[in-house]
Structure 1
Amino acid sequence: MIQVSLAILYREGKFLFQLRDNIPGIIHPGVWGLFGGHLEGEETPELCLKRELIEEIGYQVSDLVLFKEYGDSLVNRFVFYAPLTVDLSQLVLNEGWDMGLLTTENIKAGECYSHKAGMVRLIGTPHQRILLDFITQKLI
């Protein structure tokens, strides 16, 4: 089974999302999703996420809190949350097409406009479900 760690990073009531590259053959191409990635070797889910955030956006997070574990027949997702303590302009997008701070309204609607794509793009279904669950629990 595939194991991944995902980050709910929040700032000023908004949530950081990555617009995935629009490349056929990758999982969820061209949709908004949470930052994160696959566990490697004997890595813990928390260490995996810290590594992925440095690789993907150059962000070093210290205090991650486990929100939930979501599993299905193909993927087990470890979902953590933490505040985004820097401005979006201080992040460097090393992986993906775009990134942005999405509002609760964007998440409920299941879509958000991307300036780099020049169009509205959908939010990936599992990522939308996770965020709606998170918002409902009012942890921030």
Structure 2
Amino acid sequence: MSNSVHVAIAILYQNNQFLLQLRDNIPNIVHPGHWGLFGGHLEPGENPDIALQRELLEEIGYIPLNLLKFGCYPDAQAVRHVYHAPLTVELNQLVLHEGWDMDLATIEQIKQGSRHSQKAEGVYPLVPTVQKILLDFQKSKLSEN
């Protein structure tokens, strides 16, 4: 797995809803036009905690105070270091710097596997791995803290 791509992603939650990013619909990225979590690639030698803080600042201009490790999800595509934290600001206080849209999704929408985007004017699927991670997280009951 040492040659695998490593990414750090964040489950940010508020009022039993989860912050999702609608990925740009461009063909040269992984999962274009899919809802995913904010975060990104680790730079060479970078710690996942630091990488996630850097990515969140770049993508939405926000770093949660208490990012805690939830788990690690390796597959053929990437090793995903997953963290979680409450979203302590209103959605309109975040500034989307990367992606097509962002919104909060209910667990019902996550189970359904797709979510409407007003900005992108359509219904878009969740990245399957992200759906699994969020359902695992919901089952773990960490989201109720």
Question: TM-score with structure 2 length normalisation?
Answer: 0.94
Q: CA RMSD in A?
A: 0.7
1:104 alignment counterpart: 107
1:33 alignment counterpart: 36
The CA distance in 2 between the partners of 1:19 and 1:59, in whole Å, is 17
- 1:136 correspondence with 2:134: no
Q: 2:121 aligns with which of 89, 105, 118?
A: 118
**Paired AA for residue 25 in structure 2:** N
User: Which of structure 1's runs of 4+ aligned residues deviate more than 3 A?
Assistant: none
Q: Which runs of 5 or more structure 1 residues have no equivalent in the other structure?
A: none
State the Cα distance separating 1:74 from its structure 2 match.
Answer: 3.1
Q: 1:64 aligns with which of 48, 63, 67?
A: 67
The CA distance in 1 between the partners of 2:139 and 2:63, in whole Å, is 27
Q: Which runs of 5 or more structure 2 residues have no equivalent in the other structure?
A: none
State the Cα distance separating 1:63 from its structure 2 match.
Answer: 1.1
The CA distance in 2 between the partners of 1:67 and 1:98, in whole Å, is 25
The CA distance in 1 between the partners of 2:64 and 2:47, in whole Å, is 15
State the Cα distance separating 1:25 from its structure 2 match.
Answer: 1.6
Q: Report how many aligned residue pairs link the two structures.
A: 140
Question: TM-score with structure 1 length normalisation?
Answer: 0.98
Q: 1:17 aligns with which of 11, 17, 20?
A: 20
The CA distance in 2 between the partners of 1:115 and 1:94, in whole Å, is 17
